[in-house]
Amino acid sequence: MEREIGFEMAASNIRFGRGVTAEIGMDLKDLGVKKVMFVTDPNISKLPMKDTVIRSMDKEGVEYVVYDQTRVEPTDSSFKDAINFAVSNKVDSFVALGGGSVIDTAKAANLYSTYPTDDFLLYVNAPIGKGKPIPGPLKPLFAIPTTAGTGSETTGVAIFDLEEMHAKTGIASRVLKPTLGIVDPLNSVSMPPMITASTAFDILTHAVESYTAIEYTSRPYPDRPINRPAYQGSNPISDMWALKAMEIMADNFATAVDEPTNIEARGWMALAAAFAGVGFGNAGVSLPHGMSYPVSGMVRDYIAPDYISDHPLIPHGISVVINAPAVFRFTGPSNPKRHLQAAAALGADIDGVKEADAGEFLADTMIGYFKRFNIPNGLKAVGFTEADIPRLVEGTLPQHRVTKLSPRPAGPEELAALFKDAMQYW
C-alpha cells in the first residue's frame, strides 16, 4: 500500500467574545443576503439569545424565516423536515443558534437545498451511504453555539440518527464548515449542570480521540489528493489544538458546572470546544464515537437529567464518553506515550506511571471525571444489558469513517469485548 504523504489543515473562522451574538445582523447585511433561514430548537427558542439574534437582523433590515423545530439528536426525518423548509422558503443563507444538533441540521439543510437529490444517502458516509463528494460551495452559514462541547461551529461534519438502522451516521466534507462560528460565552450560561457536563465530555473525547488516533501517514495515499478525507489521522497541527483543549477543559470544567454564571469559565469552555473542534475536525475521532452511534440509536427509555425531551435521549457526550474508558484500556499499548500525555493534559499526575499501564491510567482518569460529575456508571446505567452487545457491535461495524482511525484495529470480537467492559466501571 502506498502511504499518505501529506495532510491538510482546513481553517475555521471564529469570532469570540461576550456579546458578539448581536453582531450577526451586520455580517448578513454586509454579505447582501436576501432571505435567511434562522435555525434553532423549541427550547432555545424560548431563551433570550434568540431575541438577540432577531433584534440584530431586524436592526440591519435582514429578511428571515424562523425554523425552530430542530430535534435534539436529529434523525434523517428531522433533517428532511428542515431541508424541505429551506427549499420551500427559497432561502439563500443560514443562521444556526443552538447546540450541535441545531448546527448540524442547518448544515444538512444548506447542503440538500443547494444540491437537491432524491437519494438522501448520496452524500452520507460510506458504507452506510454512497459517500459522494459535495459538488461545490454551499450558501453562507453562520453558527452560534449555545453549548460548549460539539465544536460543530468549526467542523465539516453533520451527524444524525438513521432511523431504519437505529444508529448514528453522518456527512463529512470540508465544504460543510460554517462561514463563521460566533462563540459567545453569554449563550451557555443557561445550561444546567448535566448539560454542561455532557457537552464538556464531548470536548474531552474529541480531544483525546484525535490525539490518540492513527498518524496521518498510516492511511493509504488517496487516488487523487483532492480526495483526502476530512478525518486524516493525528498530525502535528491537530495535536496542538487537541492538547490545549484538554488543558483548558481540565482547568475550567468544575467551575463551569458548579458556578454556572461564571462567565470566564464559560468562555474558556466555549474556547475549549472550538479548539477541540479544530483538532478533531482535521484529525478525526475513533472508537468511542463509532461505538456511541448505536448506543444513541438503540436507547429505550432513558432520558438524561436536565434534558427536556419528548423522546428517550442519551446525550451525545454521554453516549461517547461512556465507552471511552474501555476503549483507552484497549488502545493504550498502541502508543503509551500519547495516552499518558492525554492523561496529564486532563490534570492527572503521570509521574512514575509505567508505559505498560498507560491505557489503564487514562481510563481511570476518565472514570474519576465520571464520579465527580455524576456521569452514568457504564452502559447498564442507561438501560443496556449484555444481551444488547451483538446489536451494538452490528451498529458500530459500518462506522468506517471513525473506526478506521483507531490506533488498534477492532473487529467484531474486540468490539464485543469493549462493550462488555463498558457495561459497568465500578
Give the bridge partners for 141, in sequence order.
94
Quickly list H helices, 34-129: 48-59, 76-89, 100-114
Q: For residue 410, name the pLDDT band (cuts at 50, 70, 90).
A: very high
Could you report the per-residue pLDDT of 86-120, keeping only the tens digit for each? 999 999 999 999 999 999 999 999 999 999 999 99
* Number of domains into which the chain is organized: 2
Q: What's the mean per-residue pLDDT of the chain? A: 95
What is the distance between the alpha carbons of residues 21 and 184, in angstroms, rounded to a whole number? 6
- Residue 167 is predicted with a pLDDT of 77
| Amino acid in the structure at residue 393 | V
The three three-digit cell numbers of residue 247, written as one number:
488543558
- Of 142, 160, 183, which one is at a domain's C-terminal end? 183
Residue 240 within a domain: yes
pLDDT at 10: 83
Q: Is 251 helix (H, G, I), strand (E, B) or coil?
A: helix
Q: Looking at residue 407, what is its pLDDT?
A: 96
Encode pLDDT of 306-331 as tens digits.
998 889 999 999 999 999 999 999 99
**Domain check: are 141 and 202 in the same one?**
no
Pick from 158, 183, 208: which residue ends a domain? 183
Q: Tell me, what CATH number does 115's domain have?
A: 3.40.50.1970
What pLDDT is stored for residue 320 in this prediction? Answer: 97
In DSSP terms, 215 is beta-bridged to 234
Residue 410 lies in a domain: yes
| Separation CA 109–CA 94 (nearest Å) | 9
C-alpha cell at position 242: 487537541
Grid cell digits, residue 145: 453555539
**pLDDT for the residue numbered 308:** 86
Cis preceding linkage at 412, omega within 30:
no
Q: Which residues contact 311 (CB under 8 A, 6 or more apart)?
A: none
Beta bridge partners of residue 295, listed in sequence order? none
Q: Tell me the three cell numbers of residue 38.
A: 434562522
Phi and psi angles of residue 280, each rounded to the nearest 5 degrees, phi first: -75, -25
Give the CATH number of the domain where residue 409 resides. Answer: 1.20.1090.10
In a domain, 426, yes or no: no
Which residues touch 234 (CB under 8 Å, ≥6 apart)? 210, 211, 212, 213, 214, 215, 216, 283, 338
pLDDT tens, 287-300? 999 999 999 999 99
Tell me how far CA of residue 296 lies from CA of 3, 176, 330, in angstroms: 34, 23, 22
Is the separation of the CB atoms in 317 and 288 below 8 Å? no
Q: pLDDT tens digits, residue range 111-155?
A: 999 999 999 999 999 899 999 999 999 999 999 999 998 999 999
- Cα 59 to the chain's mean position, in Å? 33
131 in the same domain as 254: no
| Tens-digit pLDDT profile for residues 52-81 | 999 999 999 999 999 999 998 999 999 999
Same domain, 268 and 154: no
Q: Are 284 and 221 in the same domain?
A: yes
| Least-confidence region, from 163-172, 209-218, 252-261, 409-418 | 163-172
| 179 and 198 co-located in one domain | no
Whether residue 90 lies inside any domain: the answer is yes
> Of 249, 263, 229, which Cα lies nearest the Cα of 405?
229
| Each residue's pLDDT tens digit, 347-362 | 999 999 999 999 999 9
The verdict on residue 15 lying in a domain is no
In a domain, 38, yes or no: yes
For the chain, count helices (H), then strands (E).
15, 8
Q: Do 228 and 126 have their domain in common?
A: no
Residue 93 CA from chain centroid, whole number: 23
> Who contacts 125 (Cβ-Cβ below 8 Å, separation ≥6)?
131, 169, 170, 171, 172, 400, 401
Q: Global pTM?
A: 0.93
Note whether 39 and 171 are same-domain residues.
yes
If asked whether residues 177 and 214 sit together in one domain, one would say no
Amino acid of residue 68: D
> Looking at the structure, do residues 248 and 326 belong to the same domain, yes or no?
yes
Question: Residue 342: which domain range?
Answer: 193-421
Tell whether 104 and 242 lie within a shared domain.
Answer: no
- Asked if 309 and 393 sit in the same domain, the reply is yes
